Structure 1
Amino acid sequence: MSDDNPIKRWTAKRKAAMVMDIFKGKITAAEVARQHDLTVFEVEGWFDEAPQHGKRVQGPSQGCQ
């Protein structure tokens, strides 16, 4: 992300993508917080939201195997 175009609104999709990057070890919560002028507490709060959004996104494809 460039500082020229900062994210003004964190959508559920953006948060989930960032949580996945943190989970995969691509970036840390502290790095995300620093890069986007957030607190680590805010970023870590996204982990609590992620399962709720993940179920909604993954739900329809679960039956297709």
Structure 2
Amino acid sequence: MQLVVARIGRAHGIKGEVTVEVRTDEPELRLGPGAVLATEPAATGPLTVETGRVHSGR
């Protein structure tokens, strides 16, 4: 079973960062550095989280 924990949005800045719409109650556990995430469509992933930070309360 797969569970949606985030939605990747648009690019942010010039360093390869993206915005993420978090859909989980514990993002620091599920989306922390090293987390491997499946994607839909599967051909675009999996993705590995390198770093994360809160920006403007999001």
Per the normalisation by structure 2, the TM-score is: 0.31
More helix by share: 1
Bigger Rg, structure 1 or 2: 1
Higher relative contact order (CA 8 A, sep 6+): 1
Per the normalisation by structure 1, the TM-score is: 0.29
